[in-house]
Amino acid sequence: MFNNLSEKLDKAFHILKGHGKITEVNVADTLKEVRRALLDADVNFKIAKDFTTRVKEKALGQDVLTTLQPGQLLIKIVKDELVELMGGDVAGVNLSGNPSIILMSGLQGSGKTTFSGKLANFLKTKKNKKVLLVACDIYRPAAINQLHVVGDQVGVEVYSEPENKNAVSIAENAIKHAKANGFNVVIVDTAGRLAVDEEMMIEIANVHKAIQPNETLFVVDSMTGQDAVNTAKAFNDRLNFDGVVLTKLDGDNRGGAAISIKSVVNKPIKFIGTGEKMDAIDVFYPDRMADRILG
């Protein structure tokens, strides 16, 4: 995960690690390398530039050059800024509803259905919740079947109405079913398209309005870099979602989406997907991710 970025940052910090005493030129060179590493990771130009500007200001403010271990201090400033950029404190998922309703949004292929199963499994085994999965994809019968397969894998009931072509009514019926049968959490998996399109946006916005979820999650493939960030913006403008799920981090060498998404949509990354199996889910901790990136 993010190997390329880690290697490049490590190289950037080499300049600092080699010196007992460092100069303003060393700092400037390092920050230039840090910026280049972020750009190579597919971080947006402005975000990368603002990042290094903030690090520089902090370094000046803390008189880095006069301290005992200036290199270490600068690396710490970079880490703190990275944590801040990725979201600061850990964000939880809102389970205050009765039942709590979680709506999944995102493009087709982003990993929504897989993640719905992972989250159901996570809430069932880690939080002791009775979870209902709901298949709201009215276009692709295969998508409904896929959710049933996933539900079977994790031992969670799946609600579907294959003949019903109205996503809002399926979601509403599912919630009634959940209330009548003592479910604590309802996870609604919706239809995605290959690209952002108006029909999909209207449909998911209608479902969102009708069921008033406690939590709306936007699922996105981290390997798509800046595209992931742009798609997040389009969905957020429409749904004002609560959090992001970054999938396929196991295959992401660059890390641009993880680093940029929070500052563009101002919503936290809540979970990450790290593989195809049902247990390949992690809560996203910005500080742990920064540690991982900085090695």
Q: Would you say 12 or 257 has its CB closer to ligand GDP?
A: 257
Instruction: Give the separation between CA 185 and CA 199, rounded to whole angstroms.
Output: 28
CB of 55 to ligand GDP, least distance (A): 31
Interaction of residue 274 with ligand GDP, rule CB under 6 A: yes
The pair of three-digit structure tokens given for residue 210, joined into one six-digit string:
């009708």
Interaction of residue 227 with ligand GDP, rule CB under 6 A: no
Beta carbons within 10 angstroms of residue 97's beta carbon: 16
Interaction of residue 141 with ligand GDP, rule CB under 6 A: no
End-to-end CA distance of the chain: 11
Q: Which of 99, 243, 273, 286 binds ligand GDP (CB under 6 A)?
A: 273
Q: Under a CB-based contact definition with an 8 Å cutoff, are residues 204 and 239 in contact?
A: yes
Instruction: Give the separation between CA 67 and CA 65, rounded to whole angstroms.
Output: 6
Residue identified by tokens 């901790």 is 285
Interaction of residue 113 with ligand GDP, rule CB under 6 A: yes
92 is in an annotated binding site: no
Interaction of residue 247 with ligand GDP, rule CB under 6 A: yes
Binding flags for ligand GDP, 169-198, as an x/- string (CB under 6 A) = -----------------------x------
Interaction of residue 80 with ligand GDP, rule CB under 6 A: no
- HSE-CB of 170 using CA atoms within 13 angstroms: 25
- Tell me the residue type at 190: T
CB of 231 to ligand GDP, least distance (A): 12
Show the CA angle centred on residue 53, arms to residues 48 and 55, nearest 5°: 95
Q: Which of 62, 94, 108, 153 binds ligand GDP (CB under 6 A)?
A: 108
Interaction of residue 145 with ligand GDP, rule CB under 6 A: no
CB of 119 to ligand GDP, least distance (A): 12
Interaction of residue 263 with ligand GDP, rule CB under 6 A: no
Interaction of residue 248 with ligand GDP, rule CB under 6 A: yes
Q: Are strands 157-159 and 131-136 parallel, antiparallel or unpaired?
A: parallel
Instruction: Give the separation between CA 287 and CA 87, rounded to whole angstroms.
Output: 9
Q: Under a CB-based contact definition with an 8 Å cutoff, are residues 294 and 9 in contact?
A: yes
Interaction of residue 251 with ligand GDP, rule CB under 6 A: yes
291 is in an annotated binding site: no
For ligand GDP, the binding residues in 275-294 under the rule CB under 6 A are 275-276, 280
Is it true that the peptide bond before 99 is cis, omega within 30 degrees of 0?
yes
265, 110, 277: which is closest to 189 by C-alpha?
A: 110
Annotated binding residues: 106-113, 189-193, 247-250
Annotated binding residues for GTP: 106-113, 189-193, 247-250
Binding site for ligand GDP (CB under 6 A): 106, 108-114, 192, 247-248, 250-251, 273-276, 280
